[in-house]
């Protein structure tokens, strides 16, 4: 009897173990005390999601710890529908100068990195494979479908939704480096995760905080060089729909009396520029679009016919959005953001918040003199001055205050308060406001329509093996920022680059101070070493990068975070194949070559494009070949801009020049299929490359590049 019982028990636990190890994407149901993975990603925001999917595609067993109900960060749970990252690829909604135009030195439309590489490219193609230029704007509900589908396809990826790390177990290796061995997880799933490799995939460095690793936060000048704890304004990027089909407040939201003065002041500030832009004469009968009034670049769907055209002759391309009869807007900026001053004004009226500071004998930070760091959620989470219960309560109240400010803004529009304010301004007595707006229910898990994830544009930034600064992006920054706020120098070339950004430095309002912007017209690189926390092994960071605040202002966009996350997923695979926990020892050239396979460039050379008429990429194969040749060093950027331009005919002279370049590299082929005679204008034909179907057609230099690509060893 005992033997049978033991046998039954053995099979029960065997079956249970099989169920646990199948990695069926969702972690609910049977709870395990301990689960083992090759890679654990803490934080399912953009970089964490991309890293997890990438590593799982290579066969690694991946755990993705996701505090939210859906993965994808601000693209999904945060409801960003109007994406930063390709600033020259947009629908112009308002008259004005062309974005980022520096004396005609401007990247042509669709050449932006954000159209072409890695997980971001795949994300856009899944949104609208035949209308990629429309996917700079999308409904968050569609993004959720794409992310969920990408996760469900990876059987080696297991997502622990509504779960979060509560403790980190660390050890020190023989080199004195910190290594994470496991984490305790709480929330909807409780247990222990053990892994060989770790990635912090959160936007604000949550694993770095829990592991008590050093970080920067805010402006580097303060806090002993690690930052003054200042962070950009918070916001909820809710999606507005022009009807009452969604959620809307029926009474003034909490803190409305505190916030309404800000709404009124902002309306007054924007009224005259809006009148001028829309050609409204004094006392004209006119129906004001409230979201254009406060932020003109947010339309996701619906007609653009309330647009007045554009003096730089960029007509709205129409397409998907114009086919929808109802406008939806990504509500960003305007009065939707809450900085430290607004947060302090709201919380000073909250008796529970006042009591937290009283009982902990801390000077009240939200009075007439504001201690701004107490509006910084990351600072509060890490302070030793409060217990965990008080920390959680204060963080929750800050998030609620930011949400109530957004709801108050909607009430200001719907209630008639905005219209009454505009009527009181000069020339506005006959206007009406298009006031029938509500919060679109983009995420079925959020019945009030508000995003699950508050927009924290910045938080912790690791102390990394290489500290990248604005001077890497713009060596003449100190001079240029005092003149026209446009960089006039080339960015530094970083040999261990893993991603390229073309976004400007964009730092939103901080501690009551105005935003800071600086145009970076030349695409710039991110060093892989900025993702490696100093004195650690087996750990990478996807969003809380080791860069200064000014550089972070360019590297903080969601498309870029997807690119970085994809690169980190590849880096873990390469480290595992190399049997090392030391990411400094992996072969960077091999990492860059693997990224190039998926059209993610690490060196900027604009050669591929999207042809909307043909619904296809142009020059994609040649662009990949060139990227790989640049990575291994067989050709240089100067070669490409000179006689060896890929579009030139492959004459004997050019063939010899290319052959001489290749002789400098031992791993380059020595037997070449093209003519190599100095001064000879004889042209190589495609037949010499084995293309018999076009035997008499003249070959181009690009054909030589495609042939050479096949000789590069990808390990």
| Residue range 511-554, pLDDT digits in tens | 988 999 999 988 899 999 999 999 999 999 999 999 999 999 99
For the residues 32-57, what does the mean pLDDT come to? Answer: 97
What's the alpha-carbon Rg for the chain, to the nearest Å? 27
User: What is the reported pLDDT for 196?
Assistant: 98
- State the DSSP code for 218: S
Provide the pairing of β-strand 178-187 with 536-537: parallel
- N-to-C CA span, the chain: 56
Cα within 13 Å of Cα(545), Cβ side = 32
- The verdict on 50 and 106 lying in the same domain is yes
User: What is the reported pLDDT for 13?
Assistant: 38
pLDDT at 22 over 60: no
Q: Which of 98-102, 135-139, 348-352, 700-704 has the lowest mean pLDDT?
A: 98-102
Token couple for 379: 């600072």
Region at 444 (left for phi over 0; alpha for psi -120 to 50; beta for the rest): alpha
- The verdict on 272 and 137 lying in the same domain is no
Domain-embedded: residue 611: no
User: What is the reported pLDDT for 678?
Assistant: 80
Mean residue pLDDT of the chain comes to: 87
* Residue 282's pLDDT band (cuts 50, 70, 90): very high
Is residue 256 a contact partner of residue 467, using CB atoms and an 8 Å limit?
no
Neighbours of 432 (CB within 10 A): 12
Q: Which one, of 519, 416, 529, 402, lies nearest residue 463 by Cα?
A: 529
Q: Which one, of 526, 512, 558, 616, lies nearest residue 123 by Cα?
A: 558
For the residues 435-462, what does the mean pLDDT come to? Answer: 94
Query: Three-state SS for 565?
Result: helix
Quickly count helices (H) and strands (E) in the chain: 22, 24
User: What is the reported pLDDT for 705?
Assistant: 98
pLDDT at 296 over 70: no
- The verdict on 219 and 241 lying in the same domain is no
- The verdict on 151 and 267 lying in the same domain is no
Domain-embedded: residue 195: yes
Give the domain extent around 222.
23-232+457-467+527-597
- The verdict on 86 and 100 lying in the same domain is yes
Neighbours of 251 (CB within 10 A): 8
Last residue of a domain, one of 406, 427, 453: 453
Residues 6+ apart with CB under 8 A from 426: 282
Residues 6+ apart with CB under 8 A from 630: 603, 605, 636, 637
Provide the domain count of the chain. Answer: 3
For the residues 344-359, what does the mean pLDDT come to? Answer: 98
Domain-embedded: residue 6: no
CA–CA gap between residue 306 and residue 309 (Å, rounded): 9
Torsion of CA 639, 641, 644, 646, to 10 degrees: 130
**Facing residues of 191 across strands?**
185
- The verdict on 443 and 592 lying in the same domain is no
- The verdict on 196 and 211 lying in the same domain is yes
- The verdict on 210 and 88 lying in the same domain is yes
Distance of CA 92 to the CA centre of its chain: 22
Token couple for 556: 């903080």
Distance of CA 194 to the CA centre of its chain: 28
pTM of the model: 0.91
Name the residue with tokens 């604005």.
470
pLDDT at 168 over 70: yes
The beta strand positions in 173-264, using DSSP E, are: 178-187, 191-200, 215-216, 234-235, 239-241
CA–CA gap between residue 42 and residue 199 (Å, rounded): 6
Residues 618-676 pLDDT 10s = 888 999 999 999 999 999 999 999 999 999 999 999 999 999 999 999 999 999 999 88
For the residues 359-385, what does the mean pLDDT come to? Answer: 97
CA–CA gap between residue 180 and residue 199 (Å, rounded): 10
Last residue of a domain, one of 561, 581, 597: 597
CA–CA gap between residue 587 and residue 495 (Å, rounded): 12
User: What is the reported pLDDT for 192?
Assistant: 98
Neighbours of 247 (CB within 10 A): 17
Provide the pairing of β-strand 337-338 with 516-518: unpaired
pLDDT at 407 over 80: yes
**Facing residues of 37 across strands?**
195
Burial 584-595 (b: 16+ CB within 10 A, else e): eebebbbbbbbb
For the residues 180-189, what does the mean pLDDT come to? Answer: 98
Q: Which one, of 396, 398, 412, lies nearest residue 347 by Cα?
A: 398
Q: Which of 186-190, 390-394, 697-701 has the lowest mean pLDDT?
A: 697-701
Give percent of the chain with pLDDT exceeding 70: 85
Domain-embedded: residue 166: yes
Name the residue with tokens 């290489």.
466
Domain-embedded: residue 266: yes
pLDDT at 104 over 60: no
- State the DSSP code for 113: G
- The verdict on 406 and 361 lying in the same domain is yes
- Considering Cα of 149, then 152, then 155, then 160, what sign does the dihedral take? positive
CA–CA gap between residue 402 and residue 338 (Å, rounded): 6
Neighbours of 482 (CB within 10 A): 8
Residues 6+ apart with CB under 8 A from 510: 218, 230, 231, 232, 233, 339, 340
User: What is the reported pLDDT for 616?
Assistant: 77
- The verdict on 575 and 705 lying in the same domain is no
Name the residue with tokens 């909820």.
236
Q: Which one, of 709, 564, 689, 517, lies nearest residue 622 by Cα?
A: 709
Q: What is the CATH number of the domain that holds 562?
A: 3.50.50.60
Domain-embedded: residue 587: yes
Alpha helices in 319-476 (DSSP H): 320-323, 340-347, 351-359, 377-382, 388-414, 417-423, 470-473
Domain-embedded: residue 301: no
- Largest distance between two CA atoms of the chain: 95
User: What is the reported pLDDT for 697?
Assistant: 86
For the residues 186-209, what does the mean pLDDT come to? Answer: 98
Domain-embedded: residue 369: yes
pLDDT at 278 over 50: yes
Enumerate long-range contacts of 171-174, CB under 8 Å, 24 or more apart: 173/537, 173/581
> Which carries the bigger pLDDT value, residue 299 or residue 149?
149
pLDDT at 222 over 90: no
- The verdict on 347 and 463 lying in the same domain is no
Burial (Cβ within 10 Å: 0-12, 13-18, ≥19) of residue 600: buried
- The verdict on 380 and 423 lying in the same domain is yes
Q: Which one, of 286, 573, 267, lies nearest residue 424 by Cα?
A: 267
For the residues 419-443, what does the mean pLDDT come to? Answer: 96
Residues 558-576 pLDDT 10s = 999 999 999 999 999 999 9
* Residue 152's pLDDT band (cuts 50, 70, 90): very high
Enumerate long-range contacts of 265-272, CB under 8 Å, 24 or more apart: 266/294, 266/334, 266/335, 267/293, 267/294, 267/418, 267/421, 267/422, 267/425, 268/421, 268/425, 270/294, 271/422, 271/425, 271/428
* Residue 180's pLDDT band (cuts 50, 70, 90): very high
Last residue of a domain, one of 453, 485, 518: 453
């Amino acid at each position: 009897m005992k033997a049978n019982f033991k046998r039954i028990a053995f099979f029960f636990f065997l079956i249970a173990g099989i169920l646990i190890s199948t990695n069926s994407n969702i972690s609910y149901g049977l709870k395990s005390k301990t689960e083992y993975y090759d890679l654990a990603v803490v934080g399912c925001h953009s970089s964490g999601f991309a890293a997890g999917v990438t590593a799982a595609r290579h066969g690694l067993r991946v755990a993705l710890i996701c505090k939210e109900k859906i993965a994808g960060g601000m693209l999904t749970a945060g409801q960003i529908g109007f994406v930063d990252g390709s600033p020259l690829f947009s629908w112009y909604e308002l008259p004005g100068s062309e974005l980022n135009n520096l004396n005609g030195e401007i990247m042509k439309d669709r050449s932006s990195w954000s159209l072409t590489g890695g997980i971001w490219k795949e994300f856009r193609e899944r949104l609208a494979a035949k209308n990629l230029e429309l996917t700079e704007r999308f409904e968050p509900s569609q993004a959720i479908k794409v992310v969920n589908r990408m996760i469900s396809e990876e059987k080696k990826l297991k997502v622990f939704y509504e779960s979060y790390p509560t403790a980190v177990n660390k050890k020190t290796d023989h080199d004195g480096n910190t290594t994470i061995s496991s984490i305790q997880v709480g929330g909807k799933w409780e247990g222990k995760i053990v892994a060989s490799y770790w990635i912090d995939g959160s936007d604000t460095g949550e694993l770095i905080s829990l592991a008590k690793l050093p970080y920067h936060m805010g402006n580097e000048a303060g806090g002993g060089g690690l930052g003054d704890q200042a962070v950009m304004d918070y916001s909820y990027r809710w999606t507005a729909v022009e009807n009452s089909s969604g959620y809307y407040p029926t009474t003034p939201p909490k803190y409305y009396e505190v916030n309404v003065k800000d709404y009124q002041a902002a309306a007054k500030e924007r009224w005259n520029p809006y009148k001028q832009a829309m050609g409204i004469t004094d006392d004209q009968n006119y129906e004001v679009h409230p979201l254009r009034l406060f932020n003109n670049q947010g339309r996701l769907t619906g007609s653009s016919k309330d647009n007045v055209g554009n003096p730089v002759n960029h007509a709205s391309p129409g397409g998907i959005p114009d086919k929808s009869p109802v406008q939806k807007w990504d509500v960003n900026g305007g009065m939707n953001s809450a900085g430290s001053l607004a947060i302090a004004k709201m919380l000073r009226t909250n008796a529970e918040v006042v009591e937290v500071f009283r009982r902990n004998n801390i000077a009240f930070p939200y009075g007439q003199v504001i201690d701004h760091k107490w509006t910084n959620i990351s600072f509060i989470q890490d302070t030793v001055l409060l217990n965990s219960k008080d920390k959680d309560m204060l963080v929750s109240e800050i998030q609620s205050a930011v949400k109530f400010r957004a709801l108050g803004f909607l009430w200001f529009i719907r209630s008639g308060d905005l219209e009454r304010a505009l009527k009181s301004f000069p020339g506005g007595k006959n206007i009406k406001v298009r006031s029938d707006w509500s919060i679109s229910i983009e995420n079925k898990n959020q019945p009030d329509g508000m995003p699950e994830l508050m927009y924290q544009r910045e938080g912790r930034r690791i102390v990394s093996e290489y500290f990248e600064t604005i001077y890497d992006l713009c060596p003449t920054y100190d001079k240029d920022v005092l003149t026209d706020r446009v960089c006039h120098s080339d960015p530094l070339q970083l040999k261990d680059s893993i991603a390229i950004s073309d976004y400007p430095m964009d730092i939103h309002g901080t501690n009551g101070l105005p935003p800071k912007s600086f145009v970076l017209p030349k695409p710039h690189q991110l060093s892989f070493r900025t993702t490696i926390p100093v004195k650690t092994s087996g750990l990478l960071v996807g969003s809380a990068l080791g860069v200064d605040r000014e550089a972070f202002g360019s590297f903080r966009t969601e498309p870029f975070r997807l690119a970085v996350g994809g690169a980190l997923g590849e880096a873990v695979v390469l480290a595992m194949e190399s049997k090392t926990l030391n990411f400094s020892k992996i072969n960077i050239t091999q990492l860059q070559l693997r990224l190039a396979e998926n059209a993610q460039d690490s060196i900027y050379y604009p050669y591929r494009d999207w042809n909307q008429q043909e619904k296809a990429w142009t020059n994609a194969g040649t662009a990949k070949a060139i990227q790989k040749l640049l990575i291994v060093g067989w050709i240089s950027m100067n070669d490409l801009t000179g006689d060896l331009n890929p579009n030139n005919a492959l004459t004997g002279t050019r063939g010899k020049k290319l052959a001489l370049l290749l002789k400098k590299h031992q791993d380059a082929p020595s037997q070449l299929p093209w003519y190599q005679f100095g001064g000879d204008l004889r042209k190589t034909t495609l037949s010499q490359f084995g293309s018999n179907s076009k035997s008499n057609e003249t070959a181009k230099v690009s054909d030589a590049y495609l042939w050479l690509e096949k000789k590069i060893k990808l390990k």
